[in-house]
């Protein structure tokens, strides 16, 4: 009875800390993920013998860091150009809402849409765009603190093993901890690499589609598709609906909207349901139900950011829980087939 009470008290305390400390914890978690990316790039560069032999560790960390910062800067500037295109064309889009409502009324011959027509002045598309921009801006505003975290993690990395070895002098315990760290590193790195690759493919194919159809600011929508694909299950659905709705509002015509829905939705289905499972294999080892529950749980605690981080956090939990007898049963329940 006491153990059960302690368990619930600990769980409630953890949730409370996660909610109250999200402004500190979210940048820290993102910095860890960025550190994984830097490590992966560094390991790929180490395959070049000249790079591995003659480049010091600080330079090996600096090169991928500069590449990521440069990439982020270029993408940010391109996004701002596309966002300016959206905001300048707002009034044209707002007028097309009236055209769409009229077409729907004529097509279905139902008076219920008159309500939307009479209240269409309250519809403000710019507010929707602004909310999207605010979400991206919030992430950008935390970029500086995230980079500071990454910098100090990279500096701490050189002495981390020495500290752990001093704290855990027993060889068997040290090897077990090293095994846990290696598994977390491998699993999270594979997940980030895989999702980045398939999201990039989806975003690129969607950009070509939107550009050929004539949708304004195709880079902005394709980048949004790229980001939303990191949210499991519902991310690809939302990523498809956003450009479809925008296309309807831009052109005031269902034909091009259905074209975007068919082609972009087809790209999502092809890559998400065929290519990604073949590439992923059994990398994640988490139950689909657990993935959905984790999405809801972390989304409720940390919002959209929590949805992005739900799968990596759950994977790390499964790996850590599997190495302790008291939590091994939890890891088995969280896993896909009960094998950990």
pLDDT digits (tens, 9 = 90+) for 303-326: 777 888 888 888 888 877 887 777
Distances from the Cα of 69 to the Cα of 63, 66, 144, angstroms: 10, 5, 11
Count of other CB atoms within 10 angstroms of residue 29: 20
Task: Dump pLDDT digits (tens) for 241-252.
Answer: 888 888 887 877
Q: Looking only at Cα atoms, what is the longest distance across the chain?
A: 78
Burial 30-41 (b: 16+ CB within 10 A, else e): bbbbbbbbbbbb
pLDDT at position 99 is 67
Percent of the chain with pLDDT over 70: 79
pLDDT at position 209 is 92
**The tokens of 28 are what?**
């820290």
Mean pLDDT: which of 156-170, 252-266, 306-320 is highest?
252-266
SS (H, E, C) 295-309: HHHHHHHHHHHHHHH
Tokens 């966002």 belong to residue: 83
Mean pLDDT: which of 46-60, 166-180, 218-232 is highest?
218-232
Give the contacts of 87 (CB within 8 A, at least 6 positions apart).
Answer: 126, 129
Task: Dump pLDDT digits (tens) for 96-124.
Answer: 666 666 666 666 665 545 555 455 454 45
Q: How far apart are CA 98 and CA 25, in angstroms?
A: 45
Residue 215 DSSP class: -
- Is 240 within 8 Å of 298 (Cβ atoms)? no
Give the contacts of 290 (CB within 8 A, at least 6 positions apart).
Answer: 314, 333, 334
Q: Quote the pTM value.
A: 0.74
Top pLDDT among 105 and 50 is at 50
214: left (phi over 0), alpha (psi -120 to 50) or beta: left
Residue 238 DSSP class: H
pLDDT mean across residues, the chain: 77
- Under the banding of pLDDT at 50, 70 and 90, the label for residue 127 is low
- Under the banding of pLDDT at 50, 70 and 90, the label for residue 144 is confident
Percent of the chain with pLDDT over 90: 3
Closest listed residue to residue 70, CA positions, set 108, 41, 105, 110:
41
- Under the banding of pLDDT at 50, 70 and 90, the label for residue 208 is very high
Q: How far apart are CA 157 and CA 37, in angstroms?
A: 14
Mean pLDDT of 5-22: 78
- Under the banding of pLDDT at 50, 70 and 90, the label for residue 205 is very high
Mean pLDDT of 236-244: 84
Closest listed residue to residue 216, CA positions, set 246, 242, 196:
246
- Under the banding of pLDDT at 50, 70 and 90, the label for residue 156 is confident
pLDDT at position 173 is 78
Whether pLDDT at 159 is above 80? no
pLDDT at position 118 is 54
Q: Can you point out the beta strands (E) in the chain?
A: none
């Amino acid at each position: 009875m006491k153990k059960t009470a302690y368990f619930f008290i600990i769980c409630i305390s953890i949730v409370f800390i996660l909610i109250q400390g999200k402004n500190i914890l979210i940048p820290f978690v993102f910095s860890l993920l960025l550190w994984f990316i830097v490590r992966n790039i560094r390991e790929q560069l180490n395959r070049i013998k000249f790079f591995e032999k003659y480049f010091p560790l600080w330079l090996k960390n600096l090169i991928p860091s500069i590449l990521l910062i440069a990439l982020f800067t270029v993408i940010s500037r391109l996004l701002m150009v596309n966002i300016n295109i959206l905001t300048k064309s707002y009034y044209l889009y707002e007028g097309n809402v009236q055209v769409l409502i009229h077409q729907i009324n004529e097509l279905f011959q139902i008076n219920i849409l008159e309500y939307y027509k009479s209240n269409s002045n309250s519809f403000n598309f710019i507010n929707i765009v602004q909310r999207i921009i605010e979400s991206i801006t919030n992430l950008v505003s935390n970029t500086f603190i995230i980079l500071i975290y990454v910098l100090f993690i990279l500096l701490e990395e050189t002495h981390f093993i020495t500290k752990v070895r001093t704290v855990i002098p027993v060889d068997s315990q040290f090897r077990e901890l090293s095994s846990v760290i290696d598994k977390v590193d491998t699993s999270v790195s594979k997940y980030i690499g895989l999702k980045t690759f398939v999201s990039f493919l989806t975003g690129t194919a969607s950009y070509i589609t939107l550009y050929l159809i004539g949708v304004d600011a195709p880079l902005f929508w394709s980048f949004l598709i790229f980001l939303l694909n990191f949210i499991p299950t519902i991310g690809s659905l939302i990523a498809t609906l956003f450009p479809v709705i925008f296309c309807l509002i831009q052109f005031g015509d269902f034909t091009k909207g259905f074209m975007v829905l068919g082609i972009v939705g087809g790209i999502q289905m092809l890559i998400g349901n065929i290519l990604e499972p073949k590439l992923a294999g059994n990398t994640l080892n988490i139950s689909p139900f657990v993935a959905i529950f984790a999405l809801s749980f972390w989304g409720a605690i940390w919002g959209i950011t929590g949805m992005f981080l739900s799968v990596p956090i759950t994977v790390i939990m499964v790996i850590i829980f599997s190495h302790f007898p008291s939590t091994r049963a939890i890891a088995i329940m969280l896993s896909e087939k009960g094998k950990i």
